[in-house]
Amino acid sequence: MTLLGRLGHNPTLSEVAENAAARPPIVTSTLNRLGFGARTRDRWITGYVNTPCHRLGDVLNSEGAGEALLAEDVVIGDRREAAGDTSEYAIVNLSSVLFVVAVDDSAPPRRDTFAWVKKRREGILVGVGPYEIVGDCHVVDGATLRNPSALSKFAFIVITSAVIRQRGQSGPGEQHGTVFVNRQLVDFMVPAR
């Protein structure tokens, strides 16, 4: 028997094409369009990233994330809500980003249950640049915030039920379901609540 067919029979090009057409198509991953707002010391960068990931945290903390993010439909300005310079695309230097918020704070799809690690919430206050972010950090069961490895090995620390304030600002602050804080730019982390 040959690799191409039965013993003594090599399929014709049209037979190969017919067989290929009869098979279901190979499904490649579909891309999800995830909106984000990234804050650097001087500006907001808002846009969208097209990715096979379902959650923004998976994009930022994946092993292949690297130091840059290719974003589309970008607006660069002083405030997240304000108009600014627009561009069809931009390459965002993640090492200069203080924190990232999801534009759509609806509940993201859950992670694969086989990858789950039992965690518990612990209140945290993080200082990063001129901002303070308070919310819940999810640490591995049995660990505490005293142990820096309790916050995982990822580039961005995930804080849920978060409130962002500029240092010295009074008032309620800006609320977000999830904020991703650049671990390398954190000034301090302390327990909160």
Mean pLDDT of 85-111: 81
* CA 14 vs CA 7, 21, 95, 138: distances in Å: 19, 10, 53, 57
pLDDT confidence of residue 3: 43
What span, in angstroms and rounded, lies between the C-alpha atoms of 148 and 137?
A: 12
Order of strands across the sheet that contains 32-39: 85-93, 68-77, 44-51, 32-39, 99-102, 174-182, 156-166, 131-140, 119-128, 186-191
**pLDDT exceeds cutoff 90 at 182:** yes
Which pLDDT value is given to residue 95? 92
Question: Which two tokens mark 126?
Answer: 């993080």
Per-residue confidence (pLDDT) for residue 148, from 0 to 100: 60
pTM here? 0.76
Q: H-helix or E-strand containing 20?
A: helix 13-22
Residue 188's beta-bridge partner residues? 127
Q: What is the pLDDT of residues 125-135, one digit of tens each?
A: 999 999 999 99
Per-residue pLDDT, 170: 81
Q: How far is CA 88 from CA 85, 96, 158, in A?
A: 11, 21, 28
Mean pLDDT within 31-59:
92
CATH of 113-191, one of 2.40.30.40, 2.30.30.100, 2.40.128.20, 3.20.20.70: 2.30.30.100
pLDDT of residue 171: 82
| Residue 64's pLDDT band (cuts 50, 70, 90) | low
pLDDT tens digits, 99-154: 999 887 454 555 555 556 677 788 999 999 999 999 998 877 777 777 666 566 77
The per-residue pLDDT for 12 is: 64
